[in-house]
Structure 1
Amino acid sequence: MKFRSSLVTGCCTLLLQLTTHPVVFAADQPTYWVSAWGTALQPIPRQASLPPLYQAPDVSGRTVRQIIYPTLSGKSVRIHLSNAYAETPLVIDELRIGPSGGGAKGRAEQSSRVTFNGAATVVVPPGGERESDPVTLDLVADAPYAVSSYMGQEQRLSAWHRVANQVNYISSPGNYTANADGKPYATRFTQYVWVTGLSVATPRPSSAVAAIGDSITDGMRSSLNQNQRWPDALARRLERENSEPIGVVNLGISGNRLLSDSPCYGEALESRFTRDVLTRPALKTAILLIGINDINFADMPARKGLDCDFPHTRVSAASLIAGYKRVIARSRQHGVRIIGATLLPASLPPSRESIRLAVNQWIRSSGEFASVIDFDAALRDAAQPAKLRRIYDSGDHIHPSDAGYAEMARAIKLEELSKVSKERVAQ
């Protein structure tokens, strides 16, 4: 099963061209755009009958308010929209961004209208992407901001980021983008939709790092609304300890695999890598943590109805390593440093554990990655290295606890994120 759009490649090429050079504002002051927040989309399963977890809420003619936490401060921002995986246009009649007042509340007096080529309404074709005009806004890193979009009367959801670990809101019918008290926002949902990036203007070149992978990067089983994912903890470390600002973008998708698509868990990482990572403004480094689902899903029982683990592809260490090499080659072609992260313990049976160990050994010793983060060593139980240390285990023996995610962030050497790639970019 492949989730592709003929428009995606063209859009990605255009975005790469647009984000390579600075934009010049008033008084010939160069302004560099840097990624400060982002998420990755996945298609909503396409079948007539879906279980409740995969049923999309009604957004037609309503206002959707999403809460995001930028990782950089600034005075001017741009919003990025994606209509990936859709078969119909995305229509937003008004879009505003402003400080969140907590929950669904906003701060109307501090919110700003977002325009696209000067217009309040934007129509994004199927598979297309749009970048907003610059918006003047006093943005503070790690503070919540409400992005409120009044949707077209016929708008339907065809893609989302399903595990946001953040409560977002949908209003009753009508335009409530400037609403402050939050009362019209009666419906809650825990996905992100359409808004896939926020970039901040900086007066000198800065950089951003992408965390890309599966549910462990997505922050599965971390505390709801608390920003306890490891990329969140990394962003806070960078803000406290690093001399130069670096943005962090979380592009994990729960259930995602390196090599195989899924009806529930999105396009294979090696296929989505170009769109989700390489088109981000000023993104210079990517941290890759992926493979445990590739190892596990072959042995998951087939389900009647919606089989999220389909196809149950069996992998080897060699096939995973070949996939890593393809991603590494693509990142080098675009001048992005890619850091390899070892696969965490997951209490696997011996046949699967042997694949994990072989992959980790290659990540540590091959020299293919620009550098390595040893998450396995940081979180494993010293007495039972095939298992997570109890304090770092959320309880399912696969996903870390909040303490485990924090430890992952501590295992990262910040100087590795500040390096300018010394690798020769392929011509």
Structure 2
Amino acid sequence: MNRFALATGTALTTLTLALTTSVAAAVPPQAGVVRQADWRAAWTAAPQRASTGFEPNWSEEGFSGQSVRQVVRLTTAGSSLRIRLSNDYGPSAVHLTAATVAHAGQGASVRPGSVRRLTFDGASSADLPAHGSLASDPVPLRVQPFQSVAVTLYFAGTTGPATFHSQAYATSYRAQGDHAADTAATAFAQATHSWYYLSGIDVTGGQGAKRNAVVTFGDSITDGFGSTNDANGRYPDELAEQLAAKGRARPVLNAGIGGNLVLNDSAWYGDHSAARFRRDVLDQPGVGTVVVLQGVNDLGFSESDTPTYKPAPVVSAQELIAGHRRLIRLAHAQGVKVVGATLLPFKGSDHWGEHAATVSDAVNQWIRTSGEYDAVVDLDRAMAAPGQADVLNPAYDSGDHLHPNDAGYTVMARHIADELTSKVM
């Protein structure tokens, strides 16, 4: 998200790099200039407004005199990094008392000697503005592709409802009091599967500034529903690994939101696709390609008995195609290539019905044949059961006939990696 008026601009002025080897004693500050063009996004999560969600989370209660530690895996190397925080859905400013980043250990522990205190415009604390965002100053911490880091945020005061990412499929931890600098996991006695305020980590150094990041944009299938918690088995994770294995390593960023819709906003499932596309895709540092896989919720919520999105409008193929065209136009206007993925088979799921079946066939045919996407990955055919074109292959089914399992996400990633490496994308 490129809205960091409090922390960065087109060219950053001289910044203080706060480095601690033992955290308690700070190394003297180092001065340097990092240009905006040098940053590459290494990880991201799409922000959502506080909500109950499908499993317990802390978003509605927020934090008060607590530390929250969040572990995320980066997909590109660097010698320095910064974190990005979002209070997009917060009605008032949130005071961040302290923040650290470190190489992750097991669970909530971090590797001794790797803890770095973060600063914000030179200060150790900062206000995260209402409906706004904030980036930290750069801090030297060398990271490798597929290395996990732990970001710990301490809020001495009361935050109110927290902007968060609901379905992280990764464990975050909470402790009472200031434990931002702790290397041990002892104090972090509570856990959840969501991310809070943390919306991105960018790196500089390493592979150099390249505009080749791939953003995967979509709903719960992109977000990773059905994958194993803490295993980094979502299809974007697998895609990053497969590109690296092919010798075509690129940052891969997951901008999926479970339940998200192309055409309509939802309190639980986020702003509709075009409303969040700039923030979650185009403003990511170094983005060059976006993979769009979205539309099944626009069709399926009108068929489903789920109470989380009612009344759900009945959407036509023409309306859904118009939504896809808008995303293509937005990307092309910024010079970003767009890969269209056909909707996966979903017969037998709670999203299936006569109307959804008809419209999904029409939309998939348009994606395949219109030529409006720069490239196409036909996941509808790749993921279908043998002899049953509308059914998700049981070998790839997480159990709800809609979302893939770990094996299915691996297959999806393979097809997308093949397309990305066969073309100049």
**TM-score category (smaller protein):** 0.7 to 0.9
Instruction: Name 1:224's counterpart in structure 2.
Output: 229
The answer as to 2:88 corresponding to 1:96 is no
Cα distance, 1:382 vs structure 2: 2.6
Instruction: Name 1:184's counterpart in structure 2.
Output: 187
Q: Which amino acid aligns with 1:189?
A: T
The answer as to 2:15 corresponding to 1:11 is no
Q: CA 1:263–1:19 in 2, change beyond 3 Å: closer, same or farther?
A: farther
Instruction: Name 2:200's counterpart in structure 1.
Output: 197
- Provide, for residues 276-305 of structure 1, a one-character-per-residue CA deviation record: whole Å limited to 9, x for no partner: 1111101111100000000011123374xx
Q: How do 1:78-227 and structure 2 match up within 5 A?
A: 78-172=82-176, 174-202=177-205, 204-206=208-210, 207-227=212-232
Instruction: Name 1:44's counterpart in structure 2.
Output: 50
Q: Which amino acid aligns with 1:216?
A: I
Residues 238, 413 of structure 2: 8 Å contact kept: yes
Question: For structure 1, which segment, 363-372 or 50-59, has the greater mean C-alpha deviation from structure 2 after superposition?
Answer: 50-59
Cα distance, 1:107 vs structure 2: 2.1
Measure the CA separation in 2 of the matches of 1:107 and 1:259: 44
Measure the CA separation in 1 of the matches of 2:31 and 2:306: 59
Measure the CA separation in 2 of the matches of 1:180 and 1:12: 30
Cα distance, 1:90 vs structure 2: 2.2
The answer as to 2:364 corresponding to 1:360 is yes
Q: CA 1:302–1:186 in 2, change beyond 3 Å: closer, same or farther?
A: closer
Measure the CA separation in 1 of the matches of 2:386 and 2:63: 49
Residues 67, 166 of structure 1: 8 Å contact kept: yes
TM-score, normalised by the number of residues in structure 1: 0.87
Q: CA 1:258–1:96 in 2, change beyond 3 Å: closer, same or farther?
A: same
Question: For structure 1, which segment, 74-83 or 195-204, has the greater mean C-alpha deviation from structure 2 after superposition?
Answer: 195-204
Measure the CA separation in 2 of the matches of 1:19 and 1:415: 35
TM-score, normalised by the number of residues in structure 2: 0.88
Instruction: Name 1:324's counterpart in structure 2.
Output: 324
Q: Which amino acid aligns with 1:321?
A: I
Measure the CA separation in 2 of the matches of 1:73 and 1:293: 35
Q: CA 1:419–1:28 in 2, change beyond 3 Å: closer, same or farther?
A: farther
Measure the CA separation in 1 of the matches of 2:373 and 2:74: 28
Q: Which amino acid aligns with 1:289?
A: L
Measure the CA separation in 2 of the matches of 1:342 and 1:381: 15
Unaligned stretches of 5+ in structure 2? 16-29
Q: CA 1:321–1:224 in 2, change beyond 3 Å: closer, same or farther?
A: same
Q: Which secondary structure does the structure 1 equivalent of 2:64 belong to? A: coil
The answer as to 2:81 corresponding to 1:77 is yes
Q: CA 1:201–1:417 in 2, change beyond 3 Å: closer, same or farther?
A: farther
Measure the CA separation in 1 of the matches of 2:256 and 2:150: 22
Measure the CA separation in 2 of the matches of 1:53 and 1:355: 34
Q: How do 1:213-292 and structure 2 match up within 5 A?
A: 213-243=218-248, 245-292=249-296
Unaligned stretches of 5+ in structure 1? 1-7, 422-427
Cα distance, 1:349 vs structure 2: 2.7
The answer as to 2:36 corresponding to 1:33 is no
Residues 379, 392 of structure 1: 8 Å contact kept: yes
Cα distance, 1:210 vs structure 2: 0.4
Q: Which secondary structure does the structure 2 equivalent of 1:11 belong to? A: coil
Q: Which secondary structure does the structure 2 equivalent of 1:110 belong to? A: coil
Identity of aligned residues (%): 36
Residues 100, 181 of structure 2: 8 Å contact kept: yes
- Provide, for residues 349-369 of structure 1, a one-character-per-residue CA deviation record: whole Å limited to 9, x for no partner: 332111111000000111111
Q: CA 1:179–1:313 in 2, change beyond 3 Å: closer, same or farther?
A: same
Measure the CA separation in 2 of the matches of 1:314 and 1:325: 19
| Larger relative helix fraction | 1
Measure the CA separation in 2 of the matches of 1:418 and 1:246: 15
Measure the CA separation in 2 of the matches of 1:294 and 1:417: 31
Q: Which amino acid aligns with 2:186?
A: K
Q: Which secondary structure does the structure 1 equivalent of 2:140 belong to? A: strand
Cα distance, 1:106 vs structure 2: 1.4
